Chains A and B, each alone.
Chain A
């Protein structure tokens, strides 16, 4: 072993480690600029106009809300429907809850994506870009809300999920579901304003709401925020997700990568030098 070997190893390892440099760059975190939607479940009447508007806006399934009896069971989003309304029977009567992508402030899906197909836009919506996606479905494994859905019966499958109508937002319009809501149960705005609004509602009507805004801290904070009259676990929400942003769970591992890639080769090189009988200096 000589200096050449060492340089070769170092060069090869260095090249590998370079790909890890952006790990240290923080994602732009300006929550005050992100837009989102506040869902006031006390106002929702379960008319499912939003479901139809969503299907029309994105060329997806437009449900026949009069006849399909879909509220009889609790549904989840699918590759044909980016959002659904569910009905829950509670001690305060029927509660209707909208379910779709939560547009996390630090989304697990985007951190998981090896091709940056899943992307947190600077406006707030989390979008999927088909020209980049390779269909590994790691976003589905990582999403704590189980939102991204995959087209298993297509030769060229897409990941289907709510985009917060990113295209419409860029044209200055509001999301299709918000536009369609007849009771103002859905309110669109910047996240900061929505949180203020939600707090105001709780403060002004303390008996009508549980004193918690779902999404303010859950999974590190989400773009969608919910108000409810009954505890959130009674209306289909997971309350055990914690407040840590999900990308944090892999951060330590990713930070250790450049360290190992530089440190370990040096250590191994040293070991191999120590055990080499031919380079015994004591003679």
Chain B
């Protein structure tokens, strides 16, 4: 009897707490809200047309270009940008470099949300999304399919990321026992997460292996999976620098004063890591270029475009990172991060859209609706991110 009362009281308090936390906080009319709310609403209207009248009603996809901006940017580029989580958990939990401990939580949260929203955007692009259950429940396993593999890895990886993040949720809810339990799962989840990331980051590249006759030879290589994997490391690191710089300003009050102190050191360390991986990536690119005897291909516009990507947005930001680390200049590192992210975007879009069916008579250009829906996905992710970091102990380092 007595027990029952406490359980009821407890659950009442819990519901009250959740309702309290759901309420918006802070000012409503911020510039971000003023821009993002209309775009999210417009995006929802576009999605209504997309699901009622078909993909053709809002996208410029065609028989020659079955994959457009939603796959090429949202999924393929978005997942590369989210690579930071597996890199940082590797450094902190496997190599045990304590310096980065204070950014683990926010990086894992970013990774988790990026997968939920950007990989989730895949569902918007599916013609028959209600059948997405087929490859999951097992009545039709396409085991020879790279996409099957990638989809499964997304799902398991999201679970692993959730486990990694769950101590923060438990701490927020003040569930001591649960927190202790989920913390004990962290190392296992991290190891699983890194292994899965290795495979699906490269798997996104492997998606294009069978499109050999369609992709411009400067971007096609049997080593696409390795290139995608290596570049996802510096894509993730650059994203942490980019996103961390913004968070550091916007959520100043939430960040532990203790971690403020080492923020510059962390950024320099990440920049160093990015510089090294970028040089490795550039070396691979050069090897493939020389071995493939692609000299004759760089004389036309495509060649120029290729050189822009590889030199302008890989080699140059790589040197900028190295220079920024040497001179302890955060502003150079930030510019390098932005250039690297553009480079990743160019590379992924080139492989999946721009240099795909490069000799087609009518080339695909995304419709404005495709851009709006992409912006909607990004803004929705930021909303959820903001909601979580203003309520849960994300910027506090766990110990």
Q: What residues of chain B lie closer than 8 Å to A4, measured between beta carbons?
A: 184
A272-B187, A276-B96 known; A155 vs B54 contact (CB < 8 Å)? yes
Interface size on B, residues (CB 8 A): 69
Distance from A46 Cβ to chain B, minimum over Cβ atoms (Å): 24
Q: Is the CB of A115 within 8 A of B131?
A: yes
Q: Is the CB of B199 within 8 A of A272?
A: no
**Cβ proximity bits B175-206 to A, threshold 8 Å, 1 near / 0 not:** 00000000011011001101110110011001
Q: Is the CB of A275 within 8 A of B135?
A: no
Distance from B95 Cβ to chain A, minimum over Cβ atoms (Å): 6
**Cβ proximity bits A246-283 to B, threshold 8 Å, 1 near / 0 not:** 11011011100100110011001101100111000000
The stretch of A62-70, A82-90, A137-145 in contact with B is A137-145
A146-B64, A261-B199, A268-B194 known; A249 vs B145 contact (CB < 8 Å)? no
Q: What residues of chain B lie closer than 8 Å to A257, measured between beta carbons?
A: 149, 199
Distance from B159 Cβ to chain A, minimum over Cβ atoms (Å): 9
Q: Is the CB of B199 within 8 A of A260?
A: yes
A206 within 8 A of B: no
The stretch of A14-22, A37-45, A173-181 in contact with B is A14-22
The stretch of B5-13, B100-108, B209-217, B240-248 in contact with A is B209-217
A12 to B187, CA, bound (A): 12
A114-B135, A250-B209 known; A5 vs B187 contact (CB < 8 Å)? yes
Which of B52, B62, B66, B129 has its CB near the most chain A CB atoms (within 10 A)? B66
The stretch of B28-36, B136-144, B280-288, B337-345 in contact with A is B136-144
Q: What residues of chain A lie closer than 8 Å to B129, measured between beta carbons?
A: 134-135
A233 within 8 A of B: no
Q: What residues of chain B lie closer than 8 Å to A9, measured between beta carbons?
A: 187-188, 191-192
Interface residues on A, range: 35 or more
Q: Which residue of B lies closest to A130 (CB)?
A: B128
Could you jot down 21 A-B contacts, CB within 8 Å? A5-B184, A9-B192, A111-B145, A117-B140, A132-B131, A132-B139, A133-B127, A133-B131, A134-B135, A141-B66, A144-B213, A150-B127, A152-B55, A155-B53, A253-B202, A253-B225, A261-B195, A264-B195, A264-B198, A268-B194, A272-B96
Distance from B138 Cβ to chain A, minimum over Cβ atoms (Å): 9
Distance from A262 Cβ to chain B, minimum over Cβ atoms (Å): 9
A114-B147, A153-B57, A253-B202 known; A260 vs B210 contact (CB < 8 Å)? no
Q: Which of B141, B188, B198 contacts A260 (CB 8 A)?
A: B198
Q: What residues of chain B lie closer than 8 Å to A150, measured between beta carbons?
A: 63, 66, 127
Total residue contacts A-B, CB cutoff 8 A: 200
Given contacts A16-B156, A22-B144, A134-B127, 13 further A-B contacts (CB under 8 A): A20-B143, A23-B143, A115-B131, A115-B134, A132-B139, A132-B140, A133-B131, A141-B67, A253-B203, A260-B198, A265-B192, A268-B195, A276-B96
Distance from A7 Cβ to chain B, minimum over Cβ atoms (Å): 9
Interfacial residues of chain A within 82-123, with CB under 8 A of chain B in the complex? 108, 110-117
Q: Is the CB of B152 within 8 A of A19?
A: yes
Q: Is the CB of A155 within 8 A of B51?
A: yes
Q: Is the CB of A112 within 8 A of B147?
A: yes
Q: Is the CB of B63 within 8 A of A149?
A: yes
A8 within 8 A of B: yes
**Cβ proximity bits B64-104 to A, threshold 8 Å, 1 near / 0 not:** 10110000000000000000000000100111100000000
Distance from A265 Cβ to chain B, minimum over Cβ atoms (Å): 5
A238 within 8 A of B: yes
Q: Is the CB of B210 within 8 A of A250?
A: yes
A242 to B210, CA, bound (A): 12
Q: What residues of chain B lie closer than 8 Å to A1, measured between beta carbons?
A: 187
A111-B144, A137-B127 known; A265 vs B54 contact (CB < 8 Å)? no
Q: Is the CB of A269 within 8 A of B191?
A: yes
B319 within 8 A of A: no
Distance from B212 Cβ to chain A, minimum over Cβ atoms (Å): 6
**Cβ proximity bits B122-135 to A, threshold 8 Å, 1 near / 0 not:** 10011111111011
